[in-house]
Amino acid sequence: MTMIGFLGVGHLAAALLEGLLAGGRPGGDFLLSPRGQGAALGARLAVPVAADNRDLVARCDIVILATRPRDAADAVAGLPFREDQLLVSACAGLPLDRLRGAAAPARLCRIMPLTAASLGASPTALFPDEPRLRSLLAPLGPILPLAREADFETATVSAAVYGFAQALIARAATWQAAQGLDPATARRLSALTFVAAGRMVAESETPMERLLGELATPGGITERGLGVLEEAGAMAAWEAACAAVLAKLRGSD
């Protein structure tokens, strides 16, 4: 049996744990750090809680690190990591080199999941590719292994875009409700429109420009709206927001 520990039990750990349990793994396969939401989450989901972080690392084969990035190095320091162990960091903007000394001799990986992991719908970047982790994470959604750690921060920008998309969905739904559409219908319609757009791109081999070209027919409603967005600089602002997130992840901002 592979034991999986969560070092840092907050929002993300709860989403991952919910997704893994929903995928059929028994609660007894997991162990939670007692700090933060550990005790409350353990009681809610019937998952055992370790005595402390040392006990957690001693008893687990895979340890998922999900503290805030600034707490990560202190959290792993002085713990009894072993050579056959995997330490999996979900900490945004934290290069593996920052953990290597403290976590030696464990093997290190990075993942960047979304809270949609609780629904089995998180695209999750992974570096380096690691078979043990692929099978563990499979119930959380599609896994996207990266060839170079240098790309990890760029991939992590998508974790912020996930929030941008939710803000756009909320804005679109609120606008439709203000025009008189039933708010519950507006919320569902707006959210599922984004799901539909994403699925069409993700599940098709057709070049993205062609897919969009088929929608934005000359003189049609999509062309009209996209023109307004371009004129207002919305697309450039989107790129600027992504660049600002990347600079923050790289510590240059």
State yes or no: 150 annotated in a binding site: no
For residue 92, which of 71, 76, 121, 77 has the smallest C-alpha distance?
A: 71
Asked whether position 103 contacts ligand NAP by CB under 6 A, the answer is no
Asked whether position 69 contacts ligand NAP by CB under 6 A, the answer is yes
State yes or no: 113 annotated in a binding site: no
For residue 85, which of 65, 49, 57, 51 has the smallest C-alpha distance?
A: 57
The type of residue at 179 is Q
Minimum separation from the CB atom of position 7 to ligand NAP (A): 6
Say if residues 10 and 64 touch (Cβ distance below 8 Å): no
State yes or no: 40 annotated in a binding site: no
Q: Which is nearer to ligand NAP, 186 or 249 (CB)?
A: 249
Q: Binder to ligand NAP among 44, 68, 171, 224 (CB under 6 A)?
A: 68
Q: Which is nearer to ligand NAP, 107 or 152 (CB)?
A: 152
Asked whether position 10 contacts ligand NAP by CB under 6 A, the answer is yes
Pairing mode of beta strands 62-65, 4-7: parallel
Q: Binder to ligand NAP among 4, 33, 137, 249 (CB under 6 A)?
A: 33
Q: Which is nearer to ligand NAP, 91 or 140 (CB)?
A: 91
- Alpha-carbon separation of residue 215 from 76, 223, 232 (angstroms): 50, 8, 21
CB contact set of 191 (below 8 Å; sequence gap of 6+)? 169, 173
Q: Which stretch binds ligand NAP (CB under 6 A): 17-25, 60-68, 124-132, 170-178?
A: 60-68
Asked whether position 171 contacts ligand NAP by CB under 6 A, the answer is no
Asked whether position 154 contacts ligand NAP by CB under 6 A, the answer is no
Binding site residue list: 7-12, 53, 66-69
What residue ranges bind ligand NAP (CB under 6 A)?
A: 7-13, 33, 35-37, 53, 66-69, 71, 74-75, 90-92, 112-115, 159
